[in-house]
Chains A and B, each alone.
Chain A
């Protein structure tokens, strides 16, 4: 046998993939999921009910609109509210930071549903006072109360996200900015925030996803969001399909948002990949 012959020796055959226990269990589980999916499709097709669909499809769409509007308004208002809270939380003033800590602790420590009830039903206890300042008509609407509750709630979470992100930027960045003679606000805007927001993107995305999921509870305070319409449709028709449709819509919404956030994150961290 010459050297040349051995150099062109064939590659070893690929290792045989044996049916280990893990592989069997894995295939069985995936098969189970596939079966569940097929069962779902069969259930939806066999129970397909055109009058039901025609009756509720527009309602679901408007419900989806309400959900999105609620989340959008509350996250913007919450973001604005979170600025002073985060500022107070980081301030050296003991009183101010304790106040902000209390705010954050309360809204993160109690269920959003309890907060929503507290505002929606609880403000009714102050009806004369509210009427006196002309806010009663505003707070009689379930939607407005929900927006208020969600904004206050997400402000607490967003303040923590913001604080964590800003504090994740090393102190040296502040000092370097100061050494260049920049004003504190200038440093914050031009040096700190661009770095902090990269850190904050994923938590912010998660917060919005959590809000979309949490927004289902406003159905319990008479708001006809996607969940509210679903409950209405189910109570009228007693057709389980109504819940399945809602589940599919919510899943699609959350998944596309999650992938969107991941895509943005990949894009804005391109300069960090070596």
Chain B
């Protein structure tokens, strides 16, 4: 029986290279989800802070649904829903076709909507922290609504929303573990395979947990750097 160090080595004997492929998948999934979630979250927040009641209602429904559903269920709803939906559409044209939905994209969409519903709350409270006068100041020097939003409000908004968004990023990183359930070879799935083959489950799931921990630590360092950069631009 090979020693534990052999099992954890890089190469054909060890599993470290396989697990690191999983790290790559996990990180790229989280990184791909982030802009999607931020963009949707921002627009949902805009809808929820609007004075138009119907727009607010539409935003509230969105958040209520995607914050209320378990993430795993959302993932399955998206994955199987897309599969069945696409299959029905394609069978109109080619009756014998079978559809395989990309699990990376499904994971991205599912995690993206969950992320965005939380992010919209963060953005909303950040919007509330910005005084009305900032908008009025923007309009009074002749900026359009879009320009005011982009040049006056956004720089301040990011500063206020950053801690909340950083928190959501750490949650997103952990939530990516769920995609192993729909067959994407992320950290957890790769270590699960290693655990099953070598019968060293504690070792490999322990390694997986530590890798997530390392990702979290690296993220916190990065977040602190971003926070410092953003707060330097603050007017004193």
Contacts and interface: CB of A to CB of B under 8 A. Distances in A.
B196 to A, nearest CB: 8
A106 interface: yes
Interface SS of chain B: helix, strand, loop or mixed? helix
Nearest to B220: A109
A255 B68 contact: yes
A216 B70 contact: yes
Contacts of B192: 117, 121
Interface stretch (B13-21, B57-65, B124-132, B224-232): B57-65
Nearest to B175: A111
B209 to A, nearest CB: 4
Nearest to A105: B213
A209 B47 CA distance: 25
A181 to B, nearest CB: 42
A217 interface: yes
* Contact-residue bracket for chain A: 35 or more
Interface in B129-186: 170, 174-178, 180-181
A123 interface: yes
Interface centre among A26, A126, A246 (most CB of B within 10 A): A26
A243 B76 contact: yes
B52 A219 contact: no
A130 to B, nearest CB: 12
B199 to A, nearest CB: 8
Given A110-B209, A121-B195, A30 B57 contact: yes
B202 A26 contact: no
Contacts of A219: 72
A125 B47 CA distance: 52
Contacts of A110: 174, 209-210, 212-213, 216
B205 A29 contact: no
Contact of A243 (B50, B73, B176, B206): B73
Nearest to B170: A109
Contact of A118 (B53, B67, B206): B206
Interface string B41-52: 000000100111
B59 to A, nearest CB: 8
A209 to B, nearest CB: 8
A141 to B, nearest CB: 16
Interface in A222-252: 227, 230-231, 234, 240, 243, 246-247, 250-251
B84 A240 contact: yes
Given A23-B52, A26-B55, A124 B73 contact: no
Interface SS of chain A: helix, strand, loop or mixed? helix
A163 B20 CA distance: 37
B188 A113 contact: yes
B70 A214 contact: yes
Nearest to A238: B84
Contacts of B178: 111, 113, 217
B73 A125 contact: no
A254 B66 CA distance: 11
B203 A247 contact: no
A185 interface: no
A27 interface: yes
Nearest to A218: B72
Given A111-B177, A114-B209, A26 B58 contact: yes
Given A109-B174, A213-B71, A250-B73, 7 more contacts: A29-B47, A109-B170, A110-B210, A122-B205, A250-B69, A251-B69, A254-B67
Interface of A: 20, 22-23, 25-27, 29-30, 32-33, 105-106, 109-115, 117-118, 121-126, 212-217, 219-220, 227, 230-231, 234, 240, 243, 246-247, 250-251, 254-255, 258
